[in-house]
Chains A and B, each alone.
Chain A
Amino acid sequence: MIKNLSLTSRLTIFFTLVAATVVLGLGWLFMASADRHFLDLDRMALDDKRQLIEDILANSNSLEDARWRLGESLGHHHGLLVSIKNSSGQTLFKSKDFAFQDKPLLSVHGKVDLALQTLKSGSGEFHVIQFQAVAKYNQEEILTASLAIDAEHHQEFLDELQSSLAIYALFATMVSGVLGWIAAHQGMAPLRAMRSRAAEVSGQQLEGRMPVDAVPIEMADLARELNQMLDRLENDFRRLSEFSSDLAHELRTPISNLLTQTQVTLSIKRDACTYRDILASNAEELHRLARMVSDMLLLAKTERGVDLPLKEVFLAADDAQALIDFYEAVADDKKIVLTLEGNGPVKGDRLMFRRALSNLISNALRYARSSSCVKIIVVDRSNCTEISVENNGEDIDPILLPRLFDRFYRADQARLHLGSDGAGLGLAITKAIVEAHGGSASAFSARGTTRFTLKFPQ
């Protein structure tokens, strides 16, 4: 549930909680200060009156005198209540509203507590202090005085303050919630922009890219990574669709040849020899098709990296020599000498390695000048083994060099129908094999020498 909450909701909730905490904290602080302030005011007022009472008592010549003076001084103070008792508990003076008789105002040990106490009486709340004093007319007797001040109006004020603070807090929290939502929504705008861009991307429409410059820095990296991913996908996708159209194109011609030839043959009655010839020619053509299909499969699998070659360590020169033996007759026919120099270890699939190198040798023999030399050079570079196949022949345009490894690419389009064995997949297969081994393939051509190099990591 919480996991599925949108980022906007999460941020809004977070903002609201923060705002509520801050507002409530401030309100509490304010309330506590006001409360303490009123308490201090009451204490000061009560202290004033205590001194007044003590003065009056200290200057009174008789009980009546004291009563009259106290009545004069305290009678008009609204909300101030006084009671004075002698040690035997007789009330000497009492304001008319004083209602604390039954309360044990004295502390347990008979000592008078000067601290301010809060007492409730009837409807009201009072702040009360007690003290002891001695009157002039009777120095022997210790009088106990209780002095109370009505705290009700302070409390009313505080209650009012509290409720307005609560309303304010509620309102402020709601407003900050809304503002938080707006801010979060605005902040997420680049994400939504990226989402709508992503929604536009499909197999047919891979050109869309994330707006790297238009998004905040935090998202720019993500956008850049996504763009790179899209670049790779687009590249692969393009190659894939080119591949299938190439494939269809390559297969179409031989299949339509086969079909035409077969139909022409069937159209009239012929002798057995002709049928045999046609069938044999069909078989040759079909064989080429079958080979092309299995080459394509090999290529697709190797490029996908699924068919990771079996790994063993072998010496490159051994297999190169086996291939030289294999191609000897063809080389001899063109009066070409095949030579091998150097050696080095290769870790990988031996069959695949032979296949890769065999394509290079076959290619070199095809394009080498007659009576020249095709060199296979193995160099052990401690971290990798390089195998080069070099032939003398016409230079290949440097612009075309990287394209040589493309599927179905032929440097000389004219030779296409001269019955060359390959379907233009040989170098692509070689490259795929080397790359499946974690290596690389490159081509070089200048001053009459063409060299293909395979680099296998050790």
Chain B
Amino acid sequence: MKILIVEDEPKTGEYLRQGLREAGFVVDLAQTGIDGLHLAEQGDFELVILDVMLPGLNGWQVLEALRKRGLNMPAMFLTAKDQVEDRVKGLELGADDYLVKPFSFAELLARVRTILRRGKSSTENTTLKVADLELDLLRRRVSRAGKRIDLTAKEFGLLELLMRRQGEVLPRSLIASQVWDMNFDSDTNVIEVAMRRLRVKIDEGQEVKLIQTVRGMGYVLEMPEAH
């Protein structure tokens, strides 16, 4: 999976490159719009992450040029401006997502994965399975080690999200947006409480704890690494 980052702020660019590389992507970094455009034409990128404010060509102009040349890979904008007009403009130009600075890396990573997963309908399973935890989407049932667990509708949604994206660290804001449709910086305490309650139902009394808190990042559901 190749990702192109066009970001003129050297520190931000470098950290993004490092973070995405460590998350398993192949990453190229350009510091100006023109360099970015050249790189995008040559390489076979699956996603472009564009800063809006760039020297030379700005992010929108880069995207416009890309689209004119028939390059239709998904694009994601990073910007310090969070005005509605900017958002509308970016989306009109065919951007796939929009992230306002300052953003957390976990948020960016989660969104990058969402975009890259889009369109690739991985054979729609009716049951999700992680270790001995099973979630039946059709009958809306959850069981662990064969034992049925009762969940509320939102808890079910929360668990479904965690299981679909097992192994990924999901930031609180993404969880609030995906499960409750709260698309703003809401009270993060709410997610913590909901997660704690879910955890009690899933992991309490179990030897293997599947839901883990990654401090400063968010939550992840996965088989813990053997120590």
Contacts and interface: CB of A to CB of B under 8 A. Distances in A.
Contacts of B215: 276-277, 280-281, 283-284
Given A322-B181, A355-B184, A358-B186, A328 B154 contact: yes
A287 B189 CA distance: 13
Chain A, interface size category, equals 35 or more
A280 B184 contact: no
Given A326-B176, A329-B194, A294 B102 contact: yes
Among B183, B186, B188, the one with the most A-chain Cβ atoms within 10 Å of its Cβ is B186
Contact of B188 (A301, A328, A332, A421): A421
A222 interface: no
- Main secondary structure, interface of B, reads loop
A391 B190 CA distance: 18
Interface in B90-120: 100, 102-104
Interface of B: 82-84, 100, 102-104, 152, 154, 176, 180-190, 193-194, 197, 214-217
B171 to A, nearest CB: 9
A327 B217 CA distance: 22
Contact of A294 (B82, B176, B186): B82
A310 B84 contact: yes
For A306, A329, A362, the residue with the greatest tally of chain B CB atoms inside 10 Å of its CB is: A329
Interface in A242-296: 276-277, 279-284, 287, 290-291, 293-295
A351 interface: yes
Of A281, A293, A325, A326, the most chain B CB neighbours within 10 A belong to A326
Nearest to B180: A326
Nearest to A362: B187
A354 B216 contact: no
Among the interface residues A280, A282, A323, A330, which one has the most CB atoms of the partner chain B within 10 A? A330
A326 B190 contact: yes
Contacts of A283: 104, 215-217
A282 B104 CA distance: 13
Interface in A119-172: none
A59 to B, nearest CB: 118
A297 B187 CA distance: 17
Interface string A316-344: 00000011011111101100000000000
Interface of A: 276-277, 279-284, 287, 290-291, 293-295, 297, 301, 306-307, 310, 322-323, 325-330, 332-333, 351, 354-355, 358, 362, 421-422
B102 A280 contact: no
28 contacts: A276-B215, A277-B215, A281-B215, A290-B104, A293-B102, A294-B82, A294-B102, A295-B185, A297-B82, A301-B83, A307-B83, A307-B84, A325-B180, A326-B180, A326-B186, A326-B190, A328-B152, A328-B154, A329-B197, A330-B187, A330-B194, A332-B197, A333-B193, A355-B184, A355-B186, A358-B186, A362-B189, A421-B187
Contacts of B193: 329-330, 333
Contacts of B100: 294
A325 B180 CA distance: 8
Given A280-B217, A290-B102, A358-B186, 14 more contacts: A279-B216, A281-B216, A283-B104, A284-B216, A290-B103, A291-B185, A301-B83, A310-B84, A322-B180, A326-B182, A329-B190, A329-B194, A330-B189, A333-B193
A52 B150 CA distance: 148
A351 B82 CA distance: 14
